[in-house]
Amino acid sequence: MCGIAGFVGVKHGPDASGELLRRMIETLRHRGPDGFGYFVGDGIGLAHARLAIIDLATGSQPVRNERGTVWTVLNGEIFNYLELRRMLEALGHRFYTQSDTEVIVHLYEQYGDDFVDHLNGQFALALWDGEQRRLLLARDRTGIRPLFHAGTGGMLWFGSEIKALLAALPQLGVLDPRGVAQAMTYWGVISPDTVFQGVQSVPPGHVLVVEADGRRSLRRYWDWVFPDCRDGHVQRPFGSMDEAAGALRELLIDAVRLQLRADVAVGAYLSGGLDSSAVVALVRHFTTNPLRTFSVAFEDAEFDESGFQARVVSHLETEHTTLHCTRRDIGEAFPRLIEHAESPLLRTAGVPLMLLAAHVHDRGFRVVLTGEGADEVFGGYDLFKEAKIRRFWARQPSSTWRPLLLRRLYGYLDHSPVANAAMARSFFGRGMEHGDRPVFAHMPRWSTSQRALAFFSPSWRAEVQGWDPLTSLEETLPSSIAGWSPLARDQYVEAHTLLSAYLLPMQGDRPAMAHSVEGRFPFLDHRVVEFGNRLPDHWKIRGLNEKYILRRALAGLLPEDIRFRVKQPYRAPDHSSFFFGGEPLDYVADVLGTDSLREAGYFDPGRVGRLFDKCRRGDAVGFADNQAFVGILSTMLLHRQRVRRMPVP
């Protein structure tokens, strides 16, 4: 894993171009501490910060083709590079490195802009065609690796993180109210938007092309696609579930095998849930790789899964290390997470993962496999089951027993939203008439998180006046979604909001790369996603049993109590991480003080003060208060770090 940066457009002298590139790439040293590389041409600059994982001897970047007319820099990995190399060599291409990156320039020579279709990997890349004088920016299919850009003065600037752009264009350090409102609603900003005015991201599964005359075009090359079921005759891809489960096991084995490719040691995160345990089990049973696993344990029983982790470690006989994370650890490290996240957050869950990455790095590991993505692909979240119940309830809105099915959800929460029947009926019963809307499943979640917008100052409330998050999101969806099943619609929206906007960046890429650790996600191999998308809904959720076919595919590989364990999402303590004995951490009192809030101008100091006191007393037990507090605190930290460019005490 690495960091990339660069520009295309107005010509600079070589000295000025080199200085700009050095300034940009230096901000990404944490992503690539093993060395910097540069290519400076006529109106083009590419820079690379290297984290050496494949081809330690000759894999430095930028990488070129034989004639030196095509250059590329890559953040990420191309897992099928060995197969691609053999194919390209048979076609006459000559290689000068053993790296995965070099296949990119030869694929471009062979297939033009369609080269991305051949890549199995997690990547953000820039490719310069010197003969055509065109730049291509491409991002992997599901959005695992980030890539940002900004245009100004006839130029386009790009980088793996926004801080690289701000190093060249400090005037872009202005927060956008609409972007912050998105983060406060969807838990993340939907690409191509960001929270900084004038900065955009390349969306997952897209290629952005800048032609020689400055014209730009954005093309989608891949998306989550589901069968059209309007005629009621959806063809099953397999004759039986057992046949499908067997095929899924073989596909997952191959995905894990590919993602173990590295010239350094590879470890794995182990949460104790089905997904991460499945990845570790596949390594254990079907490869010869040594098993080294890492986990987080919490002092609060509500969040701690160490008992389940120990069960898997014992069964699979892994060499294991547990990081014990306290609430104070989370609170004190939170500003560092925001520095890397570059966006407001509604949860603290990324902090323990960032601390775990430091722990992993200190033990000599640069790569870890994780179970992220299985819930989105195979219907694992309570949100999917909740929507199924709500649609069932909507057929008979007056029913008294149908909403009682909600009691089967959220058993892992101390303050469950379904604990009080009357409150559950009132909360989950809202919006029942919108069962056919693609955003139906997400309405309860977003209505809770969006309550944070009530803390905006009058000027910021005016900026987002009239913004409807439901309609705004639906306007980005493909027209084909109307023909998909309800679960397919729910999965598509989840993949393009929570997964790509929050989970992959804020609990994946940023926390790990803060300590030069690369996370890999076998369940997000695009072949696995496409496999899951073709399956009937009842093979994914049977009754209220989530990930049914995945559990079938893992038969005999895990202890039965782990294989059939009900999904418990990874979480961490939120507002309680910032107050101890009724007193806030010093920096919390500072950035949320009345003077700081007034200076920034984003939030109403009086309303924030009342929420602050509620959290100080320990009375903020609901999701809405917790998310609002963390969202406000993270926005103010971002203001301090990136707008005012001041250190946090």
**How does pLDDT run across 573-605, given as a tens digit for each residue?**
999 999 999 999 999 999 999 999 999 999 999
What average pLDDT score do residues 449-458 get? Answer: 94
**Is residue 16's pLDDT more than 70?**
no
pLDDT in tens, 81-108: 999 999 999 999 999 999 999 999 999 9
Min mean pLDDT across 185-194, 425-434, 624-633 is at 425-434
Q: What is the pLDDT of residue 148?
A: 98
**Is residue 205's pLDDT more than 70?**
yes
CATH class of 241-377+497-563: alpha beta
Q: Which class for 374: exposed (0-12), middle (13-18), buried (19 or more C-beta within 10 A)?
A: buried
Residues in a beta bridge with 266: 367
Q: What is the pLDDT of residue 231?
A: 77
What average pLDDT score do residues 382-387 get? Answer: 93
Q: What is the pLDDT of residue 416?
A: 65
Q: What is the pLDDT of residue 408?
A: 80
**Is residue 446's pLDDT more than 80?**
yes
What does the CA dihedral 75, 347, 405, 474 come to, rounded to 10 degrees?
-60
Question: pLDDT confidence of 407, banded at 50, 70, 90?
Answer: confident
Q: What percent of the chain has pLDDT over 70?
A: 96
Residue with tokens 């053999």: 86
Q: What is the pLDDT of residue 411?
A: 67
Q: What is the pLDDT of residue 55?
A: 84
pLDDT in tens, 23-77: 999 999 999 999 999 999 989 999 999 999 998 888 899 999 999 999 999 999 9
The two structure tokens encoding residue 601: 């101008």
**Is residue 202's pLDDT more than 70?**
yes
What average pLDDT score do residues 190-214 get? Answer: 97
Are residues 547 and 373 in contact, defined by beta-carbon separation less than 8 angstroms?
A: no
Q: What is the pLDDT of residue 3?
A: 97
Q: What is the pLDDT of residue 17?
A: 76
Average pLDDT, the chain: 94
Q: How many CA atoms lie within 13 A of 74 on its CB side?
A: 28
Question: pLDDT confidence of 423, banded at 50, 70, 90?
Answer: low
Closest listed residue to residue 643, CA positions, set 604, 600, 603, 602? 600
Closest listed residue to residue 105, CA positions, set 114, 115, 97? 115
Catalytic residue numbers read 2
Written as one string, the DSSP assignment of 445-511 is HHHHHGGGGGGB-HHHHHHTTT--HHHHHHTTS-GGGGGS-HHHHHHHHHIIIIIIIIIHIIIIIHH
Distance CA 358, CA 512 (A): 8
Helix count and strand count (H, E) for the chain: 27, 19
Question: pLDDT confidence of 399, banded at 50, 70, 90?
Answer: confident
Residues in a beta bridge with 157: 7, 150
Three-state SS for 291-322 is: CEEEEEEECCCCCCCHHHHHHHHHHHCCEEEE
Q: Which class for 202: exposed (0-12), middle (13-18), buried (19 or more C-beta within 10 A)?
A: buried
Backbone φ, ψ for residue 599 (5° rounding): -60, -45
What average pLDDT score do residues 270-295 get? Answer: 96
Q: What is the pLDDT of residue 404?
A: 81
Q: What is the pLDDT of residue 434?
A: 82
Residue with tokens 């010093």: 586
What average pLDDT score do residues 409-417 get? Answer: 69
What average pLDDT score do residues 301-308 get? Answer: 92
The two structure tokens encoding residue 522: 């076998």
Residues in a beta bridge with 114: none
Q: What is the pLDDT of residue 15?
A: 62
Distance CA 510, CA 30 (A): 10
Min mean pLDDT across 25-39, 80-94, 154-168, 422-436 is at 422-436
Domain boundaries, given as residue ranges, for the chain = 3-220, 241-377+497-563, 439-476+577-649
Are residues 4 and 48 in contact, defined by beta-carbon separation less than 8 angstroms?
A: yes
Closest listed residue to residue 184, CA positions, set 641, 625, 627? 627
Domains 3-220 and 241-377+497-563 share a fold: no
**Is residue 14's pLDDT more than 60?**
no
Q: What percent of the chain has pLDDT over 90?
A: 83
What average pLDDT score do residues 472-498 get? Answer: 96
Distance CA 409, CA 320 (A): 31
Question: pLDDT confidence of 265, banded at 50, 70, 90?
Answer: very high
When the candidates are 3.60.20.10, 3.30.1280.10, 2.60.40.10, 3.90.1490.10, the CATH number that belongs to 3-220 is: 3.60.20.10
Rounded to 5°, angle at Cα 56 from 55 and 60 = 80
**DSSP β-ladder status, 216-220 and 200-201:** unpaired
Distance CA 551, CA 557 (A): 10
Closest listed residue to residue 413, CA positions, set 568, 562, 273? 568
